[in-house]
């Protein structure tokens, strides 16, 4: 959620943010709601002040009555009777004002939840991912001296990926990892988690089913509701998360943290669930775009400092790059343009690994910084050294997501005989296995 005070002072900044992010919002309607809401609150405060003033006057008259002469007493009683009629009238006015506030407040809150955070100046202006800006590359794209297989054929021939039975069990965008496919998948995840622990992140096991405040607080609701699997029959309704970013970031919602304990660095390995609504016919084959996967996610909850947030953003990006480098997977880093940014993201870097079967770079990681956006929605705050309570800054990035990462891992390490070499760093997680051979 954005700062309503900043919106009042800089409405054009948010109009431009919405235009650059291709998000349709009505800033003028929101400002009108805000003005009416504030006017009602002011009137409510004035009525309360009047009631307090009348109460004080009645008290003064009561004190005078005790020592008043008979003639004076009659006059004071008349004044008191007149004053005693006023609170009932003011109460009726108060009730009317409160009813109007109760009608306006949800509309204002709903409108505020849709306003995008302006992108940082460093984010390139563009309409979609084709206008993301490449920053750097690492590794060498392999050139094959034989006809390489894609990961679907490799998985079938090696007996490690069963898409046909996965679809039979759960419908499209489903799969089964069997035997060494399962252990390779787990090995990648365990490597990523171990590397994050070595880098000072606290490992967490968090719920994959959360309540609406966690989804709304992290910015996945209301705009991304159609991507989420819901359990509406539960009371309150529950939702399967698409990333452990949600419970990790919402872990301290409603709390005031000790500033001396920041930054908090958390990492979680979890299952993730996404409906992939709106992607009909897109990437339906293989493991690229699926409904269920596993991921190691990293989250930093930090102090309210823009330059520090930028430094942490590079830190979490470097963490993910280190995992890909350990696996010897060539990749590139891109700065995401405004049209490809989410509602709450001030800036984002994507990492794209080379995938031979796509003959292209494929997104494997997204590193985002949000400044106060998520913290305001979560009421996530800290007390600084001067005792002032401030909203935290939040950041997150994928460490590794599997089985998507198995696409380049299998395709880049295949041999002409159909076998696949296991990267050396993964072998201890697979009982020393050096390669997978066709069955």
Residues involved in catalysis: 274, 289, 363, 366, 404
- Angle (CA) 138 143 147, round 5°: 140
Side-chain-facing half-sphere of 396: CA atoms under 13 Å? 26
d(CA 375, CA 14) in angstroms, rounded, equals: 19
**Cα 209 from chain centroid?**
15
């Amino acid at each position: 959620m954005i700062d309503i005070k900043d919106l009042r002072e800089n409405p054009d900044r948010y109009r431009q943010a919405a235009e650059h992010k291709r998000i349709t919002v009505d800033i003028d309607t929101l400002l009108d709601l805000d003005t009416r809401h504030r006017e009602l609150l002011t009137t409510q405060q004035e009525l309360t002040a009047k009631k307090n003033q009348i109460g004080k006057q009645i008290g003064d008259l009561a004190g005078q009555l005790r020592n008043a002469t008979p003639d004076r007493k009659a006059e004071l009683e008349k004044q008191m009777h007149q004053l005693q009629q006023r609170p009932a009238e003011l109460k009726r006015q108060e009730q009317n004002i409160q009813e109007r506030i109760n009608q306006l407040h949800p509309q204002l809150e709903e409108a505020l939840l849709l306003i995008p955070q302006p992108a940082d100046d460093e984010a390139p202006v563009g309409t979609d991912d084709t206008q993301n800006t490449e920053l750097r590359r690492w590794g060498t794209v392999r050139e094959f001296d034989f006809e390489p297989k894609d990961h679907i054929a490799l998985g079938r021939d090696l007996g490690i990926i069963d898409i046909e039975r996965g679809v039979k069990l759960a419908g499209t965008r489903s799969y089964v990892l069997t035997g060494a496919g399962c252990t390779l998948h787990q090995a990648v995840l365990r490597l990523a988690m171990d590397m994050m622990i070595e880098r000072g992140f606290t490992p967490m096991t968090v719920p994959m089913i959360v309540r609406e405040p966690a989804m709304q607080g992290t910015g996945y609701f209301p705009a991304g509701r159609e991507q989420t699997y819901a359990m509406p029959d539960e009371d309150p309704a529950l939702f399967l998360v698409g990333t452990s970013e949600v419970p990790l970031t919402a872990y301290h919602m409603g709390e005031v943290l000790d500033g001396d304990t920041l930054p908090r660095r958390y990492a979680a390995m979890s299952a993730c669930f996404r409906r992939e609504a709106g992607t009909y016919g897109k990437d339906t084959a293989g493991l690229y775009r699926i409904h269920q996967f596993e991921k190691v996610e990293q989250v930093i909850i930090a102090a309210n400092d823009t330059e520090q947030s930028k430094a942490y953003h590079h830190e979490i990006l470097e963490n993910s790059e280190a995992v890909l480098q350990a696996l010897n997977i060539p990749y590139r880093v891109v700065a995401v343009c405004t049209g490809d940014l989410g509602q709450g993201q001030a800036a984002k870097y994507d990492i794209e690994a080379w995938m031979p079967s796509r003959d292209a770079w494929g997104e494997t990681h997204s590193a985002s910084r949000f400044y106060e956006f998520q913290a305001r929605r979560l009421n996530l705050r800290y007390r600084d050294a001067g005792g002032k309570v401030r909203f935290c800054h939040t950041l997150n990035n994928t460490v590794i997501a599997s089985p998507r990462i198995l696409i380049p891992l299998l395709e880049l390490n295949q041999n002409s005989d159909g076998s696949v070499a296991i990267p050396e760093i993964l072998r201890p997680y697979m009982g020393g296995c050096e390669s997978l051979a066709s069955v």
